[in-house]
């Protein structure tokens, strides 16, 4: 069995840093860096990319919490409707994906042009206007998804250290089970802040879905990273991530715990995430058809967001220099 990992909060003076938040923030920063680096290598418009990422992240975090409240905590949402605005009370991955998708669709049609002050309170909010011409989504979406699994490794690492996705009970000695329960053995790794980083071996084996998804994401991120220097048709990473993630997540959700009060709701025998997996897989198939059509036409949507230039950039991959 896999030992249960205990990671304490990190205290810096009056500030308390939680391991989940630190890992998620690291993933966002690293993902943004890798996307910007790849965009620079391919000669893309970085200003457009940065605005794309901003819309995607803001709407992703909003959707991640709001849809988590609606689909997974409906009774609580009915009792406390304002909880939908308390972003620190929980996130769902598919809620974040849906929110991010809504964000990039809004980005396609609208742009922030100025800041407007709200009278009395003096709070500044951005002012938006509709674009004269819609922006293309596919080039930037494909770029983001080429590096997204790397960032997602850190997000799922956060879930793995706080153990917020408990699964079903497992047989003693099961290979991928985590040794939850009362610890029978504890191994201290190092001291962090006011606590210790520990490995614990408990007596109640159980699956940890955050850890299982982390393992899969490491494999997916590695496979995609090996293609970064190849010239793939625009949209290939959208297809690959959708078709790879959907069936794996669908299967893993059958391991979700059922016999507790906070168990995920089921609709037609499936969790909300499993229904979203079905939609995501169908979307992946649709995108395969669209990418094949684009490739056959000889048109590359990436050209629509590329900056004109006289020659290749110094750190540009060989496939662009010889194209």
Q: What is the C-alpha to C-alpha distance for residues 188 and 15, in angstroms, rounded to an integer?
A: 24
Angle made by CA atoms 172, 200, 191, in degrees to the nearest 5: 165
- Domain around 187: 4-296
Q: What is the C-alpha to C-alpha distance for residues 143 and 237, in angstroms, rounded to an integer?
A: 8
Write down the pLDDT at residue 193. 64
Q: What is the pLDDT of residues 80-109, one digit of tens each?
A: 887 777 776 677 788 889 999 999 999 999
Spatial CA neighbour of 307 closest among 41, 27, 28: 41
Q: Three-state DSSP class for 302?
A: helix
* Number of folded domains that form the chain: 1
Residue 304 falls inside a structural domain: no
Q: Three-state DSSP class for 204?
A: strand
Residue 305 falls inside a structural domain: no
* Residue 315 clears pLDDT 60, i.e. is over it: no
Q: What is the C-alpha to C-alpha distance for residues 38 and 146, in angstroms, rounded to an integer?
A: 9
Residue 125 falls inside a structural domain: yes
Write down the pLDDT at residue 265. 78
Q: Three-state DSSP class for 323?
A: coil
Residue 128 falls inside a structural domain: yes
Q: The whole model's pTM is what?
A: 0.83
Residue 307 falls inside a structural domain: no
Q: What is the C-alpha to C-alpha distance for residues 132 and 232, in angstroms, rounded to an integer?
A: 30
Residue 26 falls inside a structural domain: yes
Spatial CA neighbour of 91 closest among 70, 116, 75: 70
Q: What is the pLDDT of residues 68-87, one digit of tens each?
A: 877 777 677 778 887 777 77
Residue 313 falls inside a structural domain: no
pLDDT band at 116 (very low <50, low <70, confident <90, very high): low
Residue 312 falls inside a structural domain: no
Contacts of 313 (CB under 8 A, 6+ apart): 40, 41, 43
Q: What is the C-alpha to C-alpha distance for residues 102 and 55, in angstroms, rounded to an integer?
A: 9
């Amino acid at each position: 069995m896999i030992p249960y990992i205990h990671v304490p909060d990190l205290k810096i003076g009056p500030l308390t840093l939680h391991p989940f938040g630190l890992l998620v923030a690291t993933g966002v920063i690293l993902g943004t860096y890798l996307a910007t680096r790849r965009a620079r290598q391919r000669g893309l418009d970085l200003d457009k990319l940065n605005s794309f990422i901003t819309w995607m992240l803001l709407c992703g975090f909003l959707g991640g919490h709001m849809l988590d409240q609606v689909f997974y905590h409906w009774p609580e949402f009915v009792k406390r409707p304002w909880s939908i605005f308390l972003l620190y009370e929980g996130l769902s991955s598919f809620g974040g994906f849906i929110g991010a998708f809504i964000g990039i669709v809004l980005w396609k049609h609208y742009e922030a042009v100025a800041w407007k002050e709200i009278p009395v309170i003096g709070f500044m909010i951005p002012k938006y206007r509709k674009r004269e011409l819609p922006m293309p989504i596919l080039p930037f979406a494909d770029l983001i998804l080429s590096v997204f699994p790397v960032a997602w490794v850190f997000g799922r690492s956060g879930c793995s250290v706080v153990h917020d996705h408990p699964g079903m009970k497992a047989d003693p000695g099961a290979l991928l089970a985590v040794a939850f329960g009362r610890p029978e053995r504890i191994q201290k790794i190092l001291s962090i802040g006011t606590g210790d980083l520990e490995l614990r071996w408990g007596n109640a084996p159980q699956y940890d879905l955050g850890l299982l998804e982390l393992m899969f994401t490491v494999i997916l991120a590695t496979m995609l990273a090996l293609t970064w220097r190849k010239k793939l048709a625009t949209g290939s990473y959208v297809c690959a991530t959708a078709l790879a993630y959907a069936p794996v997540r669908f299967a893993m959700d059958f391991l979700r715990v059922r016999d507790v009060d906070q168990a995920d709701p089921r609709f037609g025998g499936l969790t909300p995430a499993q229904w979203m997996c079905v939609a995501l897989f169908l979307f992946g198939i649709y995108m395969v058809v669209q990418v094949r059509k684009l490739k056959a036409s000889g048109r590359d949507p990436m050209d629509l967001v590329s900056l004109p230039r006289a020659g290749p950039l110094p750190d540009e991959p060989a496939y662009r220099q010889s194209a």
